[in-house]
Amino acid sequence: MTTPQPAPLTRPPTPAPVRRRRRGPARHLRPAALGAGAVRALCAVNLLLLAWMVATSLRGTKEIFNDPVGLPTHPHWSNYVEAWRTGGFGQALANSLIASLASAAIAVAVSAPAAYALSRTKRRSGGPLTMLFALGLGVPGQLIVIPVYVALAHVQHFTHLKMLDSLQGLVLVYVGLAMPFTVFLLTGYFRSLPAEVEEAACLDGAGALRSFSTIVLPMARNALITAFILQVIGAWNETMFSLVMLTSSGSRTLPVALLSFIDQQQYQGDDWGGMFAGVLIIMVPVLILFVVLGQRLINGMTAGVGK
Per-residue model confidence (pLDDT) at position 306: 46
- Among residues 76, 105, 127, which one ends one of the domains? 76
Query: Which of these ranges, 67-71, 117-121, 150-154, 194-198, has the smallest mean pLDDT?
Result: 194-198
User: Same domain for 48 and 181?
Assistant: no
SS3 of 217-269: the string is HHHCHHHHHHHHHHHHHHHHHCCHHHHHHCCCHHHCCHHHHHHHHHHHHHHHC
Question: Is 80 exceeded by the pLDDT of residue 96?
Answer: yes
Residue that wins the pLDDT comparison between 265 and 282: 282
- The pLDDT tens digits of the residues spanning 27-65 come to 555 777 888 888 889 989 988 998 999 999 888 888 888
Q: Which of 71-80, 127-136, 184-193, 222-231 has the lowest mean pLDDT?
A: 127-136
More reliable by pLDDT, 294 or 216: 216
pTM: 0.79
Whether residue 54 is found in the same domain as residue 116? no
Q: 218 is in which domain, residue-wise?
A: 88-302
Higher pLDDT, 202 or 9: 202
Average pLDDT over residues 95-105: 94
**Do 150 and 178 fall into the same domain?**
yes
Residue 1 lies in a domain: no
Q: Are 164 and 93 in contact (CB under 8 A)?
A: no
* CB count in 10 Å sphere of residue 97: 16
Instruction: Tell me the C-alpha distance between 171 and 234, whole Å.
Output: 12
Convert the pLDDT of each residue in 65-80 to its tens digit. 888 888 888 888 888 8
Residue 183 sits in the same domain as residue 108: yes
For the chain, what percent of residues have pLDDT higher than 70? 86
Residue 157 counted as domain residue: yes
Does residue 67 sit in the same domain as residue 164? no
Confidence tier at 2 by pLDDT (50, 70, 90): low
Of 76, 99, 129, the residue that ends a domain is 76
For residues 132 and 115, give the distance between their C-alpha atoms in angstroms, rounded to a whole number: 12
| Number of structural domains the chain divides into | 2
Predicted pLDDT at 210: 80
Q: Do residues 71 and 215 share a domain?
A: no
Q: Say which range, 38-47, 84-93, 141-150, has the weakest mean pLDDT.
A: 84-93
